Structures are given as structure tokens and as C-alpha cells.
Structure 1
Amino acid sequence: MELKSTLYSVANGIATITLARPARMNAWTGRMHTEYRHSLEQAEADPAVRVVVVTGEGRAFCAGADMQALEGHAAKGGYDSGTTADIPTPGFGVRPEFDQNFAYHFGLTKPVIAALNGAAAGVGLVLACYADIRFAVPGAKLTTAHGRFNMPAEYGLSWLLPRIVGLARANDLLMSSRVFLTDEAYEMGLINRLVSKEDLMTEVMAYARQLADSVAPHSMAVTKRQIYVDQHRDVGSSVAEADRLLSEMVAEPDYKESVRAWLDKRKADWRWPGK
């Protein structure tokens, strides 16, 4: 696929997806969503990729839906996603709950880190919230935005946000659609780390590299799956599944390699899902 509104690159085991419509503050379009899914699909299929980083080009992460698209919805009298039936489906097929817009992130095997280089509104905030880890610059504006446009909370954010920041804080952000800053978001636990604009990508890449170097890839994939599947089941089922996985994974070559590397005080040479 020819990328027109995003950029995709892979270096040192890290895939970087950049929203690249800086003149429009990386406003979201159907084309951008299609390209984003395509890039995620490429990253999932590439055994050399261990971590995915998502960021924006220019002064914003993603300013939300493109206003021209919103005007088009009003003119048509209905919503049009701007995507086609053959849009890529990364993360699909794991659980029915995950086979939906943005919820497909929960079906991915590789961690996604959002590097918020600037403002994130509406679907831009949704995208950030579906990432597993969030870094951000101080003082950037965030908002759920939907309330001012007579829209519902978008893409499952009413399910996800209370699980990240708690019900009381989520109610405030969702019901008011108010603007808040990344500094406040950090205090409420929505942002994992605040980093200066100059150092953002350096720190994000260092963290991504740490994940790639210090965590076995199968362990990462299984742990991510446990985290999001466990949101849909009881603690007893979680324990039983963990016990089953433990029995399976200690029989794998990467477990033996991990033990040897630890004893030898060297970097492990993990092979899952195959080299």
C-alpha cells in the first residue's frame, strides 16, 4: 500500500508509525485509519519487530477527525468512516470483543507505545488510550471532544477510560469533554511519563529498546493477551489460564535460553516466533 498520510519505518526491532498530515495537525481520515491498520499488520507479521511506536509529525499527535469529514457527515445526514470493506484487520480473530475499531489493539502480540508529541483530541485521544504505554510532552492539550459535536463517547472510550483512570475521573473527562493538559493526565495515571519535546523520541526509543532486549517475545505476547482478556473474565479463570500457560512455556526453548543467559550474564538469544 502506498502511504500518503502516514510514515512507517523499522529500525533495531522497533517499528515506528508516524501520523503525517502536519498541516492539518494530523487530523484523522479514513485513509489514515486504513494506512495505520496496514502498518500495524506489517509490524505484526515481521518477526524482526518487537515493539511498535506511534507518534505524530509536527506540533500535534492527532487533532481528531478531520473537520472536512465532519462537515461531510452533516451534509450527508449520516456517518461515513471513509474506509472500505477490505481494510486491513490486524489483531482480529483473537476474541470477538476485539474485532472492532481500535479494540483490535488488544489482539496484537506486540506492545504499542504512544509518543504524544502534542495535542490529542477525539479519535486522537482514543488512539493514545488504546496504546499499552503512553509518553507525552508537558503542556499538550487533550480532550475527548465528542460532547461539543453532539456525538457519543467514541470507539469504546467509555469502557476503556474508566479502567485507566478510574470511574470518577473518566466521568469528568467524558461528560464534560473539557480540555485538560498532559500534566494533569500524568497525575491521574493516563500518561506513564512526561518528557520534554527535545527528548521525547529519544526516551521512547530507549524504553522500547529496553522492552525488546529484556523481555522474551513470547512472554510479551502472552502477557499482553492476559492483560486484555482478563478484563473480560474472573480472577479464578485468570489464575487457571496462567497456570496452563506456565506449564506450556517452561517447555519452550526460549525458557531454557533465558535461564542459560541469566546464569552466563549475557543477552538472551530468543527465537520465538522464529528467526
Structure 2
Amino acid sequence: MELQATLYEVSERVATITLDRANRANAWTGRMHTEYRYLLKKADEDPDVGVIIVTGAGNFFCVGADIDVLSEFTETGEYSSGTDPDLVMPGSDEFPAFMHEYVYHFALSKPVISAMNGPAAGVGFVLACYTDIRFAVPAAKLTTAHGPLNLPAECGLSWLLPRLIGSARATELLLSSRKFLTDEAHGIGLVHRLVEPQDLMAETRLYAIDLITRNSPESLRQTKRQIYLDWHRDVGTATREAGDLLLDMVKQPDYSEAVSAFLEKRKANWQTDT
């Protein structure tokens, strides 16, 4: 696919997807969405990629849907995603509950980290929330944005945000659609780490590399799967499956390698093909 609204790079087993419409504050379009899903699928299926970073070009993460696109809806009276019907679906299809808009992040086998280099609003905020880990620069503006536009909470955010930060905090942010800063987001646990702009990508990459160096690919894949499936399941089911996974995973070569590496005080040489 010819990339027009995104950039893609792989280095040291880290894939970086950059939303690349800096002249429009990386505003979301159907073309960007199409490329983003294509690149997520590409990274997830690449055996040379262990983790995915999502960021924005310039000084913005993503300010939401492009205003020109929103204006078109007022003229037509209809909403359109601007994407083709044959849009690829990233992630494993063994999780039907995750085969929906943006929820496909949960079906990926690899961790996704957002490096929020600037403001995120509307669908840009949604996108960041669906990533597994969020790094951000201080004092960047965030907002759900939907209320002043006479829109509902978007893309399952009313389901997701309470699970990330608790019902009371999520309810206030969703009802008010107010602007708040990444500093507040860090204080309530939505942003995991605040990093100065000049250090954001370097620190995010160091974290990503450490993540895939210390942890086996299969452990990361199964742990991510457990986290999101367990949001729907009772503790008994979660515990039983964890036991079954343990019995299976101790038979894998990477378990023997992990024990050897621990005893020999060295880094593990992971073999698992993800």
C-alpha cells in the first residue's frame, strides 16, 4: 500500500507507526484509518517486530476527525467512515468480540504503546485509550470532544474509559467533554509516564526494547490476551485458564531458556515464533 497519511519504520524489533498529517494536526481521515489498520496488521504479522509504537508527526498526536470531513456530514446528513468495504481487520480472528472498530487492538499479539507527542481529541483520544501503554509529553491537551459536536461517546469509549480509570472519573470526562492536560491524565492513571518532548521517542523506544528483551513473545501475547478477555469473565474462569496456560507454556523451549538465562545471569535468547 502506498502510504499518504502515515509513516512506518522498523528498528531493533520495534515498529513505529506515525500519523503523518502534521499540517492538519494529524486530523483523522478515512485514508489515515485505512493505512493505520494496514500497518497494524503488517507489524503484528511480522516475526521481526516485537512491539508497536504509535505517535504523531510534528507537535500533535491526533486532534480527531478532520473538520472538512465533519462539515461534509452536515451537507449530506449522513455519516461516512471514508473507508473502503474491504478494509483489513488487524489481529487474530480467534477473538470475535474484538473484531470491531478500534477494539481490534485487543486482538493483536504484540503490545502497542502510544507516544503522545501533543494534543489528542475525539478519535485521537480514543486511539490512545485503545493502546496498551501510554507515554505522553507534559501539558498536552486531551478531550473526548464529542459533546460540543452533538455526538455520542465514540467507538466504545463509554465502555473502555471506566475500565481504565474508574467509573466516576470516566463519567465526568465523558459527560463534560472538557479539555484536560496529560498531567491530570497521569495523575489518574490514564497516562503511564510523562516525558519531556525532546526525550519522548527515545524513552518510549528504550521502554519498548526492554519490554521485549526481558519478556518472551509468548508471555506477552498470552498476558495481553488474558487482560482483555478477563474484563468479560469471572475470576474462576480466568484462574482455570491461567492454570491451563501455565501447564502448556512450561513445555515450550522459551521456558527452558528463561530458566537457563536466570541461572546464568544473562539475557534470554527468545525462540518463540509469534
What TM-score results when the alignment is normalised by the length of structure 1?
A: 0.98
Mapped to 1, the partners of 2:187 and 2:127 lie a distance apart of: 20
CA drift of 1:101 comes to 0.4
- The answer to whether structure 1 residue 142 and structure 2 residue 142 are counterparts is yes
Question: Which runs of 5 or more residues in structure 2 are unaligned?
Answer: none
Amino acid of the structure 2 residue aligned with 1:89: M
In the other structure, the counterpart of 2:4 is 4
Write out per-residue CA displacement over residues 202-233 of structure 1, whole angstroms, 9 at most, x where no aligned residue: 11001001001100000000000000000011
Q: What is the CA deviation profile of residues 99-155 of structure 1, one whole-angstrom value per residue up to 9, with x for unaligned ones?
A: 100000000010000000000000000000000000000000000000011111000
| 2:153 counterpart residue number | 153
The Cα of 1:96 is off from its aligned counterpart by 2.1
- Count of aligned pairs: 274
User: CA offset at residue 78 of structure 1?
Assistant: 0.9
Alignment of 1:158-197 (within 5 A): 158-197=158-197
Q: Which residue of 2 aligns with 1:202?
A: 202
Aligned AA for 1:235? V
2 CA distance for matches of 1:48 and 1:96? 26
Further displaced range: 105-114 or 70-79: 70-79
**How many angstroms apart in 2 are the aligned matches of 1:193 and 1:136?**
6
Partner of 1:36: 36
TM score, norm. by length of structure 2:
0.99
Query: Which runs of structure 2 are paired with 1:235-274 in the superposition (5 Å)?
Result: 235-273=235-273
Structure 2 distance, partners of 1:267, 1:195, is 27
Q: Considering only aligned residues, what root-mean-square deviation do their CA atoms show, in Å?
A: 0.8
State the shift of 1:174 in Å.
Answer: 0.3
Residue 111 (structure 2) aligns with: 111
Letter in 1 for 2:164: I
- CA drift at 1:92: 4.6
Within-5 A mapping of 1:5-154: 5-154=5-154
Alpha-carbon distance in structure 2 between the residues aligned to 1:195 and 1:22: 21
* 1: CA distance, partners of 2:92 / 2:49: 19
Q: In structure 1, what residue type is equivalent to 2:54?
A: V
> Please, which moves more after superposition, 90-99 or 3-12?
90-99
Superimposed CA distance per residue, residues 177-196 of structure 1 (whole angstroms, 9 cap, x where no aligned partner): 00000001111111000010
2:215 aligned with 1:215, yes or no? yes
Where structure 1 has 5 or more consecutive residues not aligned to the other structure, the ranges are none
Distance in 1 of aligned mates of 2:76 and 2:259: 61
What CA distance in whole angstroms lies between the structure 1 residues aligned with 2:63 and 2:122? 7
Aligned to 1:228: 228
Structure 1 residue 74, shift from structure 2 partner: 1.3
**3-state secondary structure, aligned to 2:88:** coil
Partner SS state of residue 142, structure 1: strand
Distance in 2, Cα, partners of 1:94 & 1:125? 27
Flag the 1:230–1:86 CA change in 2: closer, same or farther, 3 A. Answer: same
CA distance in 2, matches of 1:91, 1:41: 6
Give the Cα–Cα distance (whole angstroms) in 2 for the partners of residues 52 and 253 of structure 1: 25
Counterpart CA distance in 2 for 1:133 and 1:29 is 24
Flag the 1:20–1:152 CA change in 2: closer, same or farther, 3 A: same
Equivalents in 1 of 2:73, 2:271: separation in Å?
A: 48
| Structure 2 CA distance for aligned equivalents of residues 46 and 192 of structure 1 | 27
Q: Displaced runs of 4+ in structure 1, greater than 4 A?
A: none
Shift of 1:263: 1.1
- 1: distance between equivalents of 2:254 and 2:73? 51
